[in-house]
Amino acid sequence: MKKQLIVLLAVSLLAFLSGAVKVEAKGLILDATNATEGWNIYKDEGVEVELESVSGKEGKALGISYDMGPGGWIGIYKGNIDLSNCKSVKIIYRGKGSQNTIEFKLEDVDGSNFGIIFKTKSNVNGWTTVEVPLSELDYWWGGDESLDDLSNVNIHFAISKKEGDKGGSGKIVIDRIELIE
């Protein structure tokens, strides 16, 4: 079963802040502490990555600084997010540095991964808003081919070097992630 989508790197990929990473659903703030709190890093061998709280469009934002070196990707994720009443995810971000691909992914409890790729979108002028309908996410791997329990998912943003990308270094700033009902 295949689903398609239109989103973020987020990151994911991806948009949070005001002194904190925000995930909102009609004004409900699911996380309002520090911009980097709760985010976990995973990366290819030889890649350097740093998460930091930086100035955003409004308040604080999540900064993802990276150097691909000989590697090909970095990723961050935040777990236990309730998207059960969510129809789409809106992400506000900006990026600078070498041109690379941003990936936005959801992972359910059985390890099924669904996502969307934003080819060569890591270096954009100014703040960019992307809205991703969950119904349009594609099945990528793991678990089964169904995005099951949306009440407990991991949200992932990745930056990857795909064909035509530059690798190298850059920075993605995610200002806000908003859950749209």
DSSP structural state of residue 137:
P
d(CA 131, CA 134): 10
Q: What is the pLDDT of residues 138-173, one digit of tens each?
A: 999 999 999 988 999 999 999 999 999 999 999 999
Q: Alpha-carbon Rg of the chain, whole angstroms?
A: 15
Global pTM value: 0.81
Domain 23-169: state its class.
mainly beta
d(CA 124, CA 101): 11
Assign 27 a pLDDT band (cuts: 50, 70, 90).
Answer: very low
Q: Quick check: 18 pLDDT over 60? A: no
Contacts of 28 (CB under 8 A, 6+ apart): none
Q: What is the pLDDT of residues 37-56, one digit of tens each?
A: 899 999 999 999 999 999 88
For the chain, domain boundaries: 23-169
